[in-house]
Amino acid sequence: MFHKEGGKIIAIATSLTVIIFLLSHKFVADIFWLEKGIQVVTLFFLIMILQFFRNPKRTVEINDHHIIAPVDGKVVVIEEVFEEEYFKDKRLQVSIFMSPINVHVTRYAASGKIKFSKYHPGKYLVAWHPKASTENERTTVVIETKEFGEILYRQIAGALARRIVNYAEEGQQVVQGEDAGFIKFGSRVDIYLPLGTKINVHLNDKAVGGKTIVATK
């Protein structure tokens, strides 16, 4: 199953693959190693695109006392920080880095009402750069939850990412685990939680979007 954001790219990539296969067979069929080399490389890139846009079906156990991982990836930050855009006070930040081979679907970490949703154009620093959270292209979304109050998550573009898709709209009621967007070709998501929240993950843990419990009340 593939994410709808990949539909156009997958169609183009598949068409190009077929064209390259036909052209290589027509023009370099007499050079076996070259024909097969071109076809193997082309097929490799098609497979990479397909795996990047995969959207595995996951059953989410909705729980208002849990904050779940919004994306697949590795936990790279757990620290107390000053969140300057919306809260303007100290929060617990948990960041999950996505490599190009991870699933890049963003899911809602909790159920609630969207209080704030804003897109910021910006740079394309590597996702683990300390200034990526404030200088890279990004979206900021705040959900008002039943048990945690307001929580914030931020989709951040990386060096390869060139488009962030965000479905959250202010005033919208959202359900934990539902599709919240997509980051094309890489990056990370930051979650900002109230101080005192119990964090259930550790640095370098592998998170699974919609499954891993990041924090509990």
Structure tokens at 175: 């359900």
Mark 58-88 as b/e (b = at least 16 C-beta within 10 Å).
Answer: eebeeeeebbbbbbbbbbbbeeeeebebbee
Alpha carbon distance 47, 41 (integer Å)? 10
Alpha carbon distance 143, 156 (integer Å)? 17
Which of the following is catalytic: 24, 95, 111, 187?
187
Does residue 187 carry a catalytic annotation? yes
Give me the sign of the Cα torsion angle 174, 145, 109, 162.
Answer: positive
Q: Which residues are known to be catalytic?
A: 187
